[in-house]
Amino acid sequence: LYSYFPGGPMWPPFRRSLRYAITSTSATSIDRATLSAVFARAFSRWADATRLQFTEVASASDADITIGFYSGDHGDGEAFDGPLGTLAHAFSPTDGRFHLDAAETWVVNGASSSRSGGVAVDLESVAVHEIGHLLGLGHSSVPDSIMYPTIRTGTRKVDLESDDVLGIQSLY
């Protein structure tokens, strides 16, 4: 079953249209247009299950949600750890920060972003999971759900399970 963060934080009911900005991409070799497309697809999975709408904006100052790639210690007390381990993290509502570990070998549509030969991590799968956290979902005990706390490396899992849909629909 799905879960929420302690206290059930959520985006308030009068905020059904959320804006996101992709703000820090210098630490990744994935090009900007590709990132826009991947995150747009990831947000649309959640938009399709709710009345929420997501729009990309250019500037962090206009955004509710900010997305960026960082290496190691990046100033929020949750340092990244190099390849594998922590892949990304997102804060609960209404913080809106979503950070990705630039040290991962991110894969988009089956194509790797680096030639390092590291273990491939599917960017869209991680994005769909982290957006669940941004919206207020915790982890689920259903193994096939997006919000299950582990994923096999190299796997692509981007479709919401009925458990994810029930969880987000009871919140929004």
Interacting residues toward ligand TQI by CB under 6 A: 86-89, 125-126, 129-130, 133, 138, 148-151
57 or 97: CB nearest ligand TQI:
97
| 69-88 positions binding Ca ion, by CB under 5 A | 81, 85-86
Q: What is the number of other CB atoms lying within 10 angstroms of the CB of residue 166? A: 17
Q: Which one of Zn ion, ligand TQI, Ca ion, none is in contact with 126 (Cβ closer than 5 to 8 A by kind)?
A: ligand TQI
104 classed as catalytic = no
CB of 60 to ligand TQI, least distance (A): 21
Q: Which does 62 bind (CB under 5 to 8 A by kind): Zn ion, ligand TQI, Ca ion, none?
A: none
Separation CA 72–CA 128 (nearest Å): 23
Binding of Ca ion by 122 (CB under 5 A): no
Nearer to Ca ion by Cβ, of 56 and 78: the residue is: 78
Of the candidates 104, 124, 130, 161, the residue annotated as catalytic is 130
Residue 12 Cβ vs Zn ion, minimum distance, rounded to whole Å:
23
End-to-end CA distance of the chain: 17
Q: Nearest approach, Cβ of 158 to Ca ion (angstroms)?
A: 20
Q: Concatenated DSSP letters for 4-50? A: B-TT-----TT--EEEEEEEE-TT--S-HHHHHHHHHHHHHHHHTTS
Q: How far apart are CA 137 and CA 155, in angstroms?
A: 21
Structure tokens at 125: 């799968």
| Pair 100, 138: CB distance under 8 Å | no
Of residues 127, 134, 131, 148, the one with CA closest to residue 2: 148
- C-beta of 54 vs 125, nearer to ligand TQI: 125
The listed partner (Zn ion, ligand TQI, Ca ion, none) that binds 81, CB under 5 to 8 Å by sort, is Ca ion
- Phi, psi dihedrals of residue 165, rounded to the nearest 5°: -65, -45
> Which residues of the shown chain bind Ca ion in the complex (CB under 5 A)?
81, 85-86, 101
Residues forming the active site = 130
